[in-house]
Amino acid sequence: METSWLKELRRGKKPDSGKLVEHLQRVHRENPGFTERYSTNCVDAAGMNTYQWLAEVIEKEDHKEILDLACGSGPLLSHCHDKFGGGLSLTGVDMSQDELNLAEKRLPDTATLVQAKAQNLEFIGDEEIDVVLCHWALTLMDPVGPVLEEVSRVLKPGGTFAAIVDGDKSSSQEYEDVSSLIYSWVGKAHENYGKYDMGDARIRRKETLKKLVGRYFKEEEVIIQQKLFSIFGTPAKLAKNVANFFYASYALPENMRPSLLDDLRDYFKSNEKILNQEFRMPINRLVVRG
């Protein structure tokens, strides 16, 4: 894969947000639905996946208008529809038409899907939405300030904003190990990969996330909860699934991919700590309530 975002990184420069958008759209054009394939099978100790954890914030009696920001292939909206039935009014926004095409196939006709950037939700009026959800995407949004401004504008007074974002890497050794392994391979093909975060780095740390969100939601309660979520499988299966979750691995040239998968498989085979053939990821749920 080659994009202007990768080129700029190789030049040692921080790519601008336009280049990030182009890069993300390219990854999603070539691999629509990849987040869902991983996340659906990534569960907590009670067997709940992160879509289910996020949708827990919806209260059947009080909430009707639901907005999924960066809805991707639509797994979260689909879960909301299955859980709460037709009583909800569902809207999904994503900048990738390829992801929205998948969402359209699975969601009821009553759901509204809009191709747009989360930084500009002009098609939604002020104070129209009861719950804004965002699963694994806030981390990618740059600039993120206008996104939080838009969320605050479209939410009804007393509404809820909740997001699934990266947790603290240091709470899972295998997550740290696997990230470094993947980044070291991608670094062989694209110098400086990982030097600059995709999106805004403040989203990835509990303290900075709380401070940032608090600036846009001054009156609301801001809570960040952390949990570990796991996927299970043989070393070869874990290697494939885990590689497919990381954006970095999509930047790897095809001919290097088998070597990355071999290294990951060997890591899972040799790591005695991965007793149950389990890979754990630290995940945070941000909940902002009015």
Ligand X SMILES: C[S@@+](CC[C@H](N)C(=O)[O-])C[C@H]1O[C@@H](n2cnc3c(N)ncnc32)[C@H](O)[C@@H]1O
Least distance (Å) from ligand X to the CB of residue 137?
Answer: 4
Stretch that binds ligand X, among 4-12, 35-43, 80-88, 269-277 (CB under 6 A): 35-43
Least distance (Å) from ligand X to the CB of residue 15?
Answer: 14
Structure-token match 């060997």, residue found:
266
Least distance (Å) from ligand X to the CB of residue 95?
Answer: 4
* Neighbour count for residue 28 (Cβ, 10 Å): 23
Tokens of 223: 């809570």
Out of 19, 63, 75, 80, the only residue in the binding site for ligand X (CB under 6 A) is 75
**Closer residue to ligand X (CB): 55 or 274:** 55
User: For ligand X, what does the binding mask look like between residues 12 and 31, x meaning CB under 6 A?
Assistant: ------------x---x---
Stretch that binds ligand X, among 103-111, 132-140, 178-186, 220-228 (CB under 6 A): 132-140
User: Is there binding between residue 103 and ligand X (CB under 6 A)?
Assistant: no
User: Is there binding between residue 136 and ligand X (CB under 6 A)?
Assistant: yes
Classify residue 17 by burial, with Cβ atoms within 10 Å: 0-12, 13-18, 19+: middle
Structure-token match 């080659």, residue found:
2
Residue 115 phi/psi, 5-degree rounding, is: -85, 115
* 54 contacts: CB under 8 Å, gap ≥ 6: 76, 133, 135, 162, 163, 164, 285
* Neighbour count for residue 198 (Cβ, 10 Å): 17
Contact residues: ligand X, CB under 6 A:
24, 28, 35-36, 39, 70-73, 75, 94-96, 99, 117-119, 135-137, 140-141
